[in-house]
């Protein structure tokens, strides 16, 4: 870490005109099921046979971690830089609080498979899955970091494949026969919505509490702009299964799927354009870092990366300076002159708990007072224009 000045690349609304994907060495031929990056350099992949691998150099090299399980791990999610969860076959769930140096097996109370997991903070999370008619039991919630899991009822008797929460109490789950469920109260009630399809929906992502995308079998893309009261079909240009969808900001998103399918949107999912991939290996999951790097994983250890090429009219590669670092009283932020959007600054402790939040105008020159924080390592999150950036600071 730099001791006197930390520079963070700040990206505005990303408007890619092209994106080239390249193969990275994953170090394995095992099927990779999921990928998640906590910052621009640090990421994790999970896969069959309990595989977990980590990179600290943006995917250039990966090293194995000991998951403690041999069951397939279908999804990994990190609600904080060092705290993460992975779930999979036979009701398996594992957790780390030290960046993967150790993974502990959690007792979930089920042997049915979990397909997807999402945590709204380090303690509160949801895992979904199921098996045929038993899937009514397969929304489980924890509020104590995975120590205990409470069964929630979906009432649809359909296996669920994806879950996403754009807000702490507002979330969606999707699955077999086009099922879409929404909760507005942290899962106390899950209400079925009319998707207009009977295709298996594999993945769901909401940009905010009103606009979301669900994808699945036979090239299905469904989009809503009213919180799921209505869903419209968006052409995908393929009949392949679409396995994963994610968004970088309000406008820019990516879908991956069968036979190496990759598609991009630059208008919030209103339309999608297919891109050239690296090979025809099926891609099962896609994730973007807080900047402009994207990763997708899939069959035969496939791991590919893209760095977006952006339009000339946007803010890119500008520097936001956070100083001094370490800090013992006042923290200053210097924004590029071209930045005009309001900025939200969140500070988290090393357990991932929010300890301070400040809203700021880019032209606001007053310091952030961190004198009340105890000495230690913290993570500062900077949100502007729908883009999240995170870096580490030290308070003396």
Residue 16 banded pLDDT, cuts 50, 70, 90: very low
**Region 280-294 average pLDDT:** 89
Domain 318-395 CATH (choose: 3.30.2320.80, 1.10.3720.10, 1.10.20.60, 2.60.40.3080): 2.60.40.3080
Residue 197 banded pLDDT, cuts 50, 70, 90: very high
Task: Give the torsion through C-alpha atoms of 59, 242, 249, 193, to 10 deg.
Answer: -140
Burial 329-367, CB ≥16 within 10 A → b, else e: eebebebeeebeeebebbbbbbebeeebeeebebeeeee
> What pLDDT score does 91 carry?
96
Burial of 312: CB neighbours in 10 Å, binned 0-12, 13-18, 19+ = exposed
Residue 40 banded pLDDT, cuts 50, 70, 90: confident
- The answer to whether the predicted template modeling score (pTM) of the entire model surpasses 0.95 is no
> What pLDDT score does 113 carry?
95
One DSSP character per residue, 324-345 reads: SSSBSSEEEEE--TT--S-EEE
- Looking at per-residue pLDDT, the higher value among 101 and 155 belongs to 101
* Pairing mode, strands 139-142 and 354-360: unpaired
Q: Is the dihedral of CA 130, 133, 134, 137 positive or negative?
A: positive
> What pLDDT score does 385 carry?
61
Burial 56-87, CB ≥16 within 10 A → b, else e: eebbeebeebebebebbbbbbbbbbbbbbbbb
Average pLDDT of every residue of the chain = 86
DSSP designation for 194:
-
Residues 85 and 125 sit within 8 Å (Cβ to Cβ)? yes
CA distance 206 to 186: 16
CATH architecture of 16-310: 7 Propeller (2.130)
> What pLDDT score does 330 carry?
86
- Looking at per-residue pLDDT, the higher value among 207 and 291 belongs to 207
Is 15's pLDDT higher than 60? no
Residue percentage of the chain with pLDDT more than 90: 64
Which part of the chain is CATH 2.130.10.10? 16-310
> What pLDDT score does 235 carry?
96
Residues 391 and 8 sit within 8 Å (Cβ to Cβ)? yes
* Pairing mode, strands 191-193 and 201-206: unpaired
Residue 64 banded pLDDT, cuts 50, 70, 90: very high
Q: What 3-state DSSP class applies to 11?
A: coil
Is 342's pLDDT higher than 50? yes
Structure confidence by residue, pLDDT tens digits, 153-186: 877 788 999 999 999 999 999 999 999 999 999 9
Phi, psi of 319 (to 5 degrees): -110, 135
- Looking at per-residue pLDDT, the higher value among 325 and 261 belongs to 261
| Weakest-pLDDT range from 50-64, 198-212, 335-349 | 335-349
> How many Cβ atoms are within 10 Å of 376's Cβ, its own excluded?
11
Residues 6 or more apart whose CB falls under 8 angstroms from that of 115 comprise: 74, 75, 87, 128, 129, 130, 159, 160, 161, 162, 175
> What pLDDT score does 366 carry?
73
Residues 6 or more apart whose CB falls under 8 angstroms from that of 312 comprise: none
- Looking at per-residue pLDDT, the higher value among 312 and 110 belongs to 110
Q: Which two tokens stand for residue 217?
A: 């079998």
Residue 13 banded pLDDT, cuts 50, 70, 90: very low
- Residue 193's beta-bridge partner residues? 180
Phi, psi of 67 (to 5 degrees): -80, -25
H/E stretch holding 139: strand 139-142
Residues 6 or more apart whose CB falls under 8 angstroms from that of 365 comprise: none
Among residues 380, 340, 264, 379, the alpha carbon closest in space to that of 13 is found at 340
Which part of the chain is CATH 2.60.40.3080? 318-395
């Amino acid at each position: 870490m730099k001791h006197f000045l930390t520079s963070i690349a700040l990206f505005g609304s990303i408007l890619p005109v092209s994106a080239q994907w390249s193969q990275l060495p994953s170090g394995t031929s095992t099927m990779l099921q999921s990928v998640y990056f906590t910052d621009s350099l640090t990421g994790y992949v999970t896969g069959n046979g309990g595989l977990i691998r980590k990179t600290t150099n943006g995917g250039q090299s990966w090293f194995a971690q000991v998951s403690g399980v041999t069951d397939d791990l279908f999804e990994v999610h990190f609600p904080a830089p060092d705290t993460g969860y992975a779930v999979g076959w036979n009701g398996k769930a594992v957790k780390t609080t030290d960046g993967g140096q150790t993974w502990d097996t959690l007792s979930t109370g089920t042997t049915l498979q979990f397909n997807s997991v999402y945590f709204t903070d380090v303690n509160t999370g949801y895992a979904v899955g199921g098996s045929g008619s038993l899937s009514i039991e397969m929304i489980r919630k924890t509020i104590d970091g995975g120590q205990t899991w409470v069964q929630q009822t979906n009432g649809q008797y359909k296996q669920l494949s994806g879950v996403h929460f754009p807000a702490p109490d507002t979330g969606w789950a999707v699955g077999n026969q086009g099922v879409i469920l929404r909760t507005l109260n942290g899962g106390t009630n899950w209400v079925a919505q009319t998707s207009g399809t009977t295709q298996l929906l594999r993945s769901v992502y909401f940009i905010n509490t009103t606009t979301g995308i669900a994808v699945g079998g036979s090239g299905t893309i469904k989009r809503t702009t009213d919180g799921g009261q209505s869903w419209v079909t968006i052409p995908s240009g393929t009949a392949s299964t679409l396995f994963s969808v994610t968004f970088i900001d309000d406008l820019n998103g990516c879908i991956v799927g069968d036979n190496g399918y990759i598609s991009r949107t630059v208008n919030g999912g209103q339309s999608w354009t297919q891109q050239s991939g690296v090979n025809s290996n099926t891609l099962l999951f896609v994730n973007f870092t807080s900047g402009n790097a994207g990763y997708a994983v899939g069959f035969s250890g496939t791991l590919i990366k893209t760095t977006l090429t952006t339009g000339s009219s946007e803010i890119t590669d500008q520097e936001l300076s956070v100083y001094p670092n370490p800090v013992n009283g006042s923290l200053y932020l210097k924004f590029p002159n071209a930045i005009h959007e309001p900025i939200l600054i969140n500070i988290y402790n090393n357990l991932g708990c929010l300890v301070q939040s400040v809203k700021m105008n880019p032209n606001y020159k007053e310091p952030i007072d961190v004198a009340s924080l105890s000495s230690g390592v913290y993570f500062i999150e900077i949100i502007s224009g729908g883009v999240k950036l995170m870096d580490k600071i030290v308070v003396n």
